[in-house]
């Protein structure tokens, strides 16, 4: 287990952030400008729906804009809906601007993730960003997770609050996946990095994956441990996806021999600005994690008496959590279940033959 010193933020920056934190919810733009990132955005090429995705299930609940740059995924009494990238990728940068459903959203899960469960059913890889709805007046929450080689029993989830209302405006959510690291972004702020460790072995995702976006009824677990269900009096629930980005090496999912061209594409990906957490970005990541993360498997000593090898223990984070990985009493907040395993449904390409995720 690697020990890192407390991440320090410059005194002027820390004071400005501390004052801003007292006036929640804070604008992400204020945060980003405070740490010196104002005006920055990733230099990526956005795609139309036809250039990037295909319906996964419930075509009748997928609405496309006239310019084909936006897809609206609906959940109603009939079904949820989902889309899947038209290709598989061996490493890449995957991104979308997403606007969540509003008002009463308990029991709803909106997911943006990569997976190859349809090809490698027993030893699949997966990288998740899942958004968990809530009762009216309570905030959305979200979680990230990493699976490799079918390691679903060794989930690596973290759960977070948001510093904005994701139903009022679109925000960009991104997943970077390279041979050496994984970074989850909200807008241009890195919220989590997983650095590949040799001891992870097959637990590090390494097989080609597709990219998915879905909305579905997860009443059994998503809100207050399943106590709050989807209320279809508020239907339809709409998740809007735009600014679609799929950058990486397109491969055949069963072809594990990379071409020289793919090697070049991966090298170029790893040289991109978003492929590294710079010192200034690490400041913003520390700010986010110390104020908005409310569960981390790395601090769950009940579940993992020995922390998984990729865990980097930050003392200032360690002090926030009980041995169960959840926040200590003084740091708790309302509206969410504690840490623990995600019980999400997964849909592969064969879900096109179903009305909703299995």
- 192-241 pLDDT, tens per residue? 999 999 999 989 999 999 999 999 999 999 999 999 999 999 999 999 99
pLDDT at 154: 78
Catalytic residue, from 2, 51, 126, 157: name it: 126
Tell me the H-state helices in 104-210: none
Q: Is the pLDDT of residue 40 over 70?
A: no
Query: Rg for the chain (alpha carbons), in Å?
Result: 19
pLDDT at 71: 98
Mean pLDDT over each residue of the chain, to the nearest integer: 84
Q: Is 148 exposed, middle or buried (0-12, 13-18, 19+ CB in 10 A)?
A: buried
pLDDT category, 253, cuts 50, 70, 90? Answer: confident
Which segment, 35-44, 201-210, 347-356, is predicted with the most confidence on average? Answer: 201-210
Task: Specify the pTM.
Answer: 0.85
What six digits make up the tokens of 195? 């650095």
pLDDT category, 356, cuts 50, 70, 90? Answer: very low
pLDDT at 331: 54
Q: Is the pLDDT of residue 29 over 60?
A: no
Contacts of 279 by beta carbon, 8 Å cutoff, 6+ apart: none
Segment 239-262 mean pLDDT: 84
Catalytic residue, from 51, 130, 157, 158: name it: 130
Does residue 115 sit in helix, strand or coil? strand
Q: How far apart are the C-alpha atoms of 53 and 55, rounded to whole Å?
A: 7
pLDDT category, 41, cuts 50, 70, 90? Answer: confident
126 is catalytic: yes
Looking only at the bridges linking them, the beta strands covering 88-99 and 2-3 are unpaired
Which residue spans within 230-351 are E strands per DSSP? 237-251, 293-300, 312-313, 324-326
Query: Which of 82-96, 275-289, 340-354 is least confident?
Result: 340-354
Q: Is the pLDDT of residue 326 over 90?
A: no
pLDDT category, 256, cuts 50, 70, 90? Answer: low
pLDDT category, 18, cuts 50, 70, 90? Answer: very low
- In this predicted model, which residue has the larger pLDDT, 341 or 141? 141
pLDDT at 42: 86
130 is catalytic: yes
Which residue has tokens 């978003």? 274
DSSP 8-state secondary structure symbol assigned to residue 132: E
Distances (CA, A) of 153 to 124, 203, 241, 258: 12, 11, 30, 29
Q: Is the pLDDT of residue 286 over 50?
A: yes
Contacts of 124 by beta carbon, 8 Å cutoff, 6+ apart: 115, 116, 117, 147, 149, 150, 207
Quick one: which of 199, 250, 213 has its CA closest to 83?
213
pLDDT at 33: 53
Does residue 195 sit in helix, strand or coil? strand
Q: Is the pLDDT of residue 45 over 90?
A: yes
pLDDT at 352: 35
Distances (CA, A) of 44 to 94, 177, 245, 246, 332: 10, 15, 7, 9, 37
Which residue has tokens 């609050």? 161
pLDDT at 342: 44
Q: Is the pLDDT of residue 269 over 50?
A: yes
Share of the chain above pLDDT 90, in %: 71
pLDDT at 37: 45
């Amino acid at each position: 287990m690697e020990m890192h010193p407390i991440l320090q933020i410059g005194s002027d920056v820390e004071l400005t952030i501390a004052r801003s934190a007292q006036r929640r919810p804070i604008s992400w733009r204020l945060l980003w400008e405070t740490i010196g990132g104002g005006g920055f955005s990733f230099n990526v090429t956005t795609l139309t729906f036809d250039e990037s995705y295909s319906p996964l299930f419930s075509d009748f609940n997928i609405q496309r804009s006239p310019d084909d740059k936006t897809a609206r995924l609906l959940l109603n009494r009939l079904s949820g809906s989902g889309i899947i990238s038209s290709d598989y990728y061996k490493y890449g940068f995957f991104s979308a601007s997403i606007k969540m459903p509003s008002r009463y959203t308990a029991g709803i899960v909106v997911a943006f993730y990569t997976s190859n469960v349809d090809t490698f059913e027993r030893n699949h890889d997966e990288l998740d960003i899942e958004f968990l709805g809530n009762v009216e007046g309570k905030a959305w929450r979200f979680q990230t997770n990493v699976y490799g080689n079918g390691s679903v029993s060794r989930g690596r989830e973290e759960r977070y609050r948001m510093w904005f209302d994701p139903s009022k405006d679109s925000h960009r959510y991104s997943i970077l996946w390279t041979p050496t690291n994984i970074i989850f972004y909200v807008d241009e702020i890195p919220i989590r990095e997983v650095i590949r460790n040799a001891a992870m072995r097959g637990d590090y995702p390494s097989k080609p994956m597709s990219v998915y976006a879905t909305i579905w009824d997860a009443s059994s677990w998503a809100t207050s441990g399943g106590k709050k269900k989807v209320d279809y009096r508020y239907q339809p629930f709409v998740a809007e996806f735009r600014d679609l980005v799929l950058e990486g090496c397109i491969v055949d999912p069963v072809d594990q021999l990379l071409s020289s061209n793919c090697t070049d594409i991966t090298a170029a990906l790893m040289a991109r600005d978003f492929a590294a957490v710079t010192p200034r970005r690490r400041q913003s990541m520390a700010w986010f994690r110390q104020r908005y993360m409310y569960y981390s498997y790395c601090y769950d000593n009940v579940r993992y008496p020995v922390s998984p090898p990729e865990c980097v223990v930050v003392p200032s984070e360690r002090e926030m959590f009980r041995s169960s990985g959840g926040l200590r009493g003084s740091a708790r907040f309302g509206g969410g279940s504690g840490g623990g395993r995600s019980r999400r449904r997964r849909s592969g390409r064969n879900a096109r033959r179903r009305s909703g995720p299995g």
